[in-house]
Amino acid sequence: MRLLLDTVVFILAAETPERLSHKAQKALRAGDPCELSVVSISEIALKNSTGKLAFGRDAVLRVIQELELRILPYTLEHATELFDLPMHHRDPFDRQIIAQALAEDIPVVTCDQQFRLYQSLTVIW
């Protein structure tokens, strides 16, 4: 089963993996393909450049390699999923990740409770 990591889970896995839920830790260790959206990399880069997050390019690339993550590109199919996505969540990065997960039909590993408002989305936490 493929899994899509939310940005916050990627950062927690890198910096404080003990803060991940037991279920999330187990999912990450299960050997299933874990993916990180290119949207998450953009979010981290933007927050890093504005000083909201001290997590630079080298750290991102290192953690991607350490966790053996695949990068999920953002496609036209993902973007058009946003047209039908209810406004349960206002964060544009999270909305794009939700749209990707729905379009790809894969679960998202996240602690963000707002993701659970999307009935068709499987959330692991």
The CATH number of the domain where 95 resides is what? 3.40.50.1010
Confidence of residue 53 (pLDDT cuts 50, 70, 90): very high
- What is the number of other CB atoms lying within 10 angstroms of the CB of residue 118? 19
Range of the domain at 110: 3-124
- Tens of pLDDT, residues 19-32: 999 999 999 998 88
Query: Exposure string (b/e) for 67-95, b if CB count within 10 Å is 16 or more?
Result: eebeebeeeeebeebeeeeeeebeeebbb
Question: What's the pLDDT at 77?
Answer: 98
Confidence of residue 56 (pLDDT cuts 50, 70, 90): very high
Q: State percent of the chain over pLDDT 70.
A: 100
* Average pLDDT value for residue range 92-102: 98
Domain count, the chain: 1
Cβ(89)–Cβ(109) below 8 Å: no
* Amino acid in position 50: T
3-state SS, residue 72: strand
